[in-house]
């Protein structure tokens, strides 16, 4: 991945809003264009440069995906036990011998999907000046 992509990812993980991410990327691009040096030689690694920005308590899109997956998994577990306690429905006839398997699958897919959602988002496009 490019320096800009990695920087955007690390800035998003620190909770910076997209406007600040875009501003930081534009600053790096402008500095690299004017100096002719690589971004890494000017600013250090993308992770180190991102750490120079103060972290903000903000949920990224990926964290929201993980949260939804967690809520769905917990809802499934509650529904399975409620159905078993209140009715004669045995969910194992559908899921097989592992009762909580679908909840685990939803949780794993949600965590992986949340990480990839944040990681694969492209850096902001350059703003026209």
Q: Over the stretch 24-73, which tens digit does the pLDDT of each residue have?
A: 999 998 888 888 888 888 889 999 999 999 888 778 888 899 999 999 99
Tell me: pLDDT of 129 over 60. Answer: no
Q: Which pLDDT belongs to residue 127?
A: 64
Structure tokens at 13: 């993980």
Indicate yes or no: pTM above 0.95.
no
Secondary structure (DSSP) of 101-112: HHHHHHHHHHHH
Q: Which pLDDT belongs to residue 1?
A: 63
| 26 burial level (CB within 10 Å; 0-12, 13-18, 19+) | middle
């Amino acid at each position: 991945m490019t320096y800009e992509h990695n920087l955007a990812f690390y800035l998003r993980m620190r909770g910076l809003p997209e406007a600040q991410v875009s501003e930081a990327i534009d600053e790096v691009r402008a500095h690299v264009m004017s100096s002719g040096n690589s971004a890494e030689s000017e600013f250090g690694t993308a992770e180190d440069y991102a750490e120079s920005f103060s972290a903000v308590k903000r949920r990224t899109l990926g964290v929201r995906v993980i949260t939804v997956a967690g809520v769905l998994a917990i809802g499934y577990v509650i529904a399975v036990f409620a159905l078993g306690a209140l009715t004669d429905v045995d969910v194992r006839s559908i899921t097989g011998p592992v009762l909580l398997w679908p909840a685990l699958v939803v949780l794993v897919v949600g965590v992986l999907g949340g990480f990839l959602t944040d990681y694969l988002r492209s850096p902001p496009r350059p703003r026209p000046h």
